[in-house]
Amino acid sequence: KQEVTQIPAALSVPEGENLVLNCSFTDSAIYNLQWFRQDHGKGLTSLLLIQSSQREQTSGRLNASLDKSSGRSTLYIAASQPGDSATYLCAVKNFGNEKLTFGTGTRLTIIP
Partner 1 sequence: GAGVSQSPSNKVTEKGKDVELRCDPISGHTALYWYRQSLGQGLEFLIYFQGNSAPDKSGLPSDRFSAERTGGSVSTLTIQRTQQEDSAVYLCASSLSADTQYFGPGTRLTVL
- Residues making contact with partner 1 (CB under 8 A): 31-32, 34, 36, 42-46, 49, 51, 89, 91, 93, 97-105
DSSP string, 77-108: E-S--GGG-EEEEEEEEETT--S-EE---EEE
| Distance, C-alpha 72 to centroid of its chain | 10
Give the span between the Cα atoms of 89 and 69, in whole angstroms: 21
Phi, psi values for residue 54, rounded to 5° = -100, 160
Q: Quick one: 42 or 61, whose CB is closer to partner 1? A: 42
Closest approach of partner 1 to the CB of residue 7, in Å: 14
Whose Cβ is closer to partner 1: residue 55's or residue 79's? 55
Tell me whether residue 57 or residue 65 sits nearer to partner 1 (CB atom): 57
